[in-house]
Structure 1
Amino acid sequence: MACISELSQSQEYLSFRSSIPLRKIVVDSDGTKGWKVYDSGPKTVRCPLICLPPVSGTADIFFKQIMGLAAKGYRVIAAEPPVYWNVKEWCEGFRKLLDYMELDRVHLYGASLGGFLAQKFAEVNSHCPRVQSMVLCNTFTDTSVFSYNDSAAVFWILPSLVLKKMVMGNFAAQKADPEIVDAIDFMVERLESLTQPELASRLTMNCVSCYVQPQKISHLPITIIDVFDEYALSNVVREETYKCYPNAKLAHLKSGGNFPYLSRSPEVNLHLQIHLRQFNNTEYDAAERYGKV
């Protein structure tokens, strides 16, 4: 049995779990696919920030964004998908989730696979926009950068242990930075909690050949959050993302590893607020403001 991580015993995490209920929202007709959702902040906000996790993440990995931003009046939603085996299915399911929650427009914050899926959702719905803006964190625009492209078709039959090893190969922490170590421990716990179909389906979407068509979405307000220390993606992948979005604002963190939303949450939260500031006092404001008409 793995040790319990420092973060999951922290006062902030315990406060989050006791104050924000986990909702399961079933959106498909046969009643089997339930999104797990934490919805915090004022429900009067009609264009919230939605956080989308990486392969190994559950919705609660964004607890520091939820607690930090909700305290400032923002509505922040963390959404964890059920099992979807391809990007088209995921986009359809996410659209149904937004419909169910009566959200016509949203700001998306996606980490790694979550960032890729955010871009694909914006692209698929570019004819009838649902995405008002995006913040992309340690993410990519083309799945061909992953070495498992050829074997993705058999992920569904591989044992959990094998899939978890594939993911944890990217978690290495050479640095002794305690915040990064704590973030990795917390993410390992989350990874351990995923079922075989959950992990296999996410890895399949992450690795089956697919790419973003940036020309359909590059007009959106986009901020790219990147770390300068080691993380799972190469510099080539990072540069490719910059090229796809030449007008994006770049937010660089000196360090933070794979999971800066946990290890460098004050900086990430600040960049999220700076990004969302351009929508203050408009119909796409992600926060409730006193004195706003």
Structure 2
Amino acid sequence: ANSASTASAAAAAAASCGILRSEEYLGFRSAVAHRRVVVDDDDSLEWSMYDAGPRHVRCPLVCLPPCSGTAEVFFRQVLYLTSFGFRVIALDYPVVWSLGDWCLSFQRLLDHLSLARVHIFGASLGGFLAQKFAEQEHGRARRVASLVLCNSFVETSIFQQTNSVKSFWLLPAVVLRSTVMHNLDSISSRDREIADSMLFLNHSLHSLSQQQLASRLTLNCQDDYVEPHKLQGLPVTLIDVFDDNALTSRVREETYKCYPDAKRAHLKSGGNFPYLSRASEVNLHLQIHLQPFLNSPLSPADDSVNPTACACVETPVTSAAATAASAH
């Protein structure tokens, strides 16, 4: 009965989600291929991805989703940035049970795709994983060229779930979904775009299997933290939203302390998923972050056809967006 009611609720949410019915999303689904790649000895460890833009670019932007989302949550970034000549890869994670295993599998994926370096845009859990991967490269050649962290965190204790980590793999999907949505259910919005972004993520959440959910929650909640001294010198932009979302101001302040030289992009509103609800602002911040790398060995775009060097200047910049261009 529970699974039937859950499926019914998911179907109702999907039916009322404007994003899922939009020409933009449907166009993305038809234009960008969804690939699956196995890079480990275990055939069950499967990455899936949307890889768009010029394939000869060897330092692309890689997008890592939150605990609740699939690679599709970045479809607006993929469509927009590839129109300026960028290569963008949006990923879904394999089922792994430790941060070390995730980092090893991600490294093998980069090898498989022949990517020398990558810029990483990580949302929530995706941002934490990006930091841990960059951290484990300390003392050797870096694969991470830069980081953009959106509504992310630097320690997992904030979720107060570290004692539950060992039992996630046993729990049914309906319980795991409830755990993921715990901090989101109390957030409602009259803003149609924010409400739509929550419906889209709810749909995305229901597409994940029990094993995928359990793995993500395990990575999200196992007791760990970022060691910022191992990321010194890495270009970082922090994108944070200052309306109702699951992260507290204390969590944001801890992240700021870890990255005192980072550029900060402050959005006045956008909820937990601004890459959907405030895509134009997030896309602009990504352009501003990536612009210094154009026409260099770390360029994420085909510079021979890329007009982005002037796009950031010509685009009207709001007061919120302008903060991305200055380090605090």
TM-score, with length taken from structure 1: 0.98
Corresponding residue for residue 64 of structure 2: 52
Q: List alignment gaps of at least 5 residues for structure 1.
A: none
Q: TM-score, normalised by structure 2?
A: 0.87
**Structure 2 CA distance for partners of 1:254 and 1:20, relative to 1, 3 Å:** same
- Which residues in structure 2 correspond to 1:70-109 (within 5 Å)? 70-109=82-121
CA distance in 2, matches of 1:174, 1:187: 14
Structure 1 residues 6 and 291: alpha-carbon distance in aligned structure 2, compared to 1, 3 A threshold? closer
Which residue matches 2:229? 215
Q: Which amino acid aligns with 2:180?
A: V
Q: Distance in 2 between matches of 1:291 and 1:132?
A: 22
Which of 169, 172, 179 pairs up with 1:166? 179
The alpha carbon displacement at 1:99 in A equals 0.2
Correspondence list, 1:1-293, <5 A: 1=8, 2-3=11-12, 4=14, 5-126=17-138, 127-172=140-185, 173-290=187-304
Q: In structure 1, the residue corresponding to 2:85 is in which secondary structure? A: coil
| Preserved contact between residue 87 and residue 117 of structure 1 (Cα < 8 Å) | yes
Cα distance in 1 between the residues matched to 2:191 and 2:232: 35
The one-letter code matched in structure 2 to 1:99 is D
Query: Would the aligned equivalents of 1:113 and 1:139 in 2 still touch at CA under 8 Å?
Result: yes
1:8 shift after superposition: 1.3
How far does the alpha carbon of each residue in 1:212-238 deviate from its partner, in whole angstroms, 9 at most, with x for none? Answer: 111011310000000010111111010
Distance 1:121 1:186 in 2: 28
- Say how many residue pairs are matched: 292
Preserved contact between residue 48 and residue 93 of structure 2 (Cα < 8 Å): yes
User: 1:239 and 1:218 mapped to 2: Cα distance?
Assistant: 18
> Cα offset for 1:128?
2.2
CA offsets, 1:88-136, max 9 Å, x none?
0000010000000000100000000000000000011222210000000
Cα distance in 1, alignment partners of residues 284 and 108 from structure 2: 30
Q: Secondary structure at the match of 1:199?
A: helix
| Residue deviations 1:35-94 (CA, integer Å, cap 9, x gap) | 001000111211000000010111111000000100111110001111011100000010
Q: Residue 29 of structure 2 aligns to which amino acid in structure 1? A: R
Q: Please list the CA deviations of residues 225-265 of structure 1 after superposition, one character each: whole Å capped at 9, or x if unmatched.
A: 00010111111010000000000000000101000000000
Aligned 8 A contact 2:49 2:92 in 1: yes
Report Cα offsets for 1:194-221 as digits up to 9, x if no partner.
1111001100111110111110113100
Query: What amino acid is aligned across from residue 60 of structure 2 in structure 1?
Result: P
Across the aligned residues of Structure 1 and Structure 2, the Cα RMSD in angstroms comes to 1.1
1:30 Cα offset (Å): 2.9
SS in 2 for 1:107: strand
Q: How far apart are residue 147 of structure 1 and its match?
A: 1.6
Where structure 2 has 5 or more consecutive residues not aligned to the other structure, the ranges are: 1-7, 307-328
Determine if contact 1:218/1:244 at 8 Å carries over to the other structure.
Answer: no
Contact 2:188 2:195 (8 Å CA) reproduced? no
The alpha-carbon distance between structure 1 residues 291 and 117, as it changes in their structure 2 partners (threshold 3 A), is closer
How many angstroms does 1:290 deviate by? Answer: 2.4
Q: CA deviation at 1:150?
A: 1.2
Partner of 2:316: none
For 1:56 and 1:278, the matched residues in 2 are separated by 32
Counterparts of 1:59 and 1:145, CA distance in 2: 25
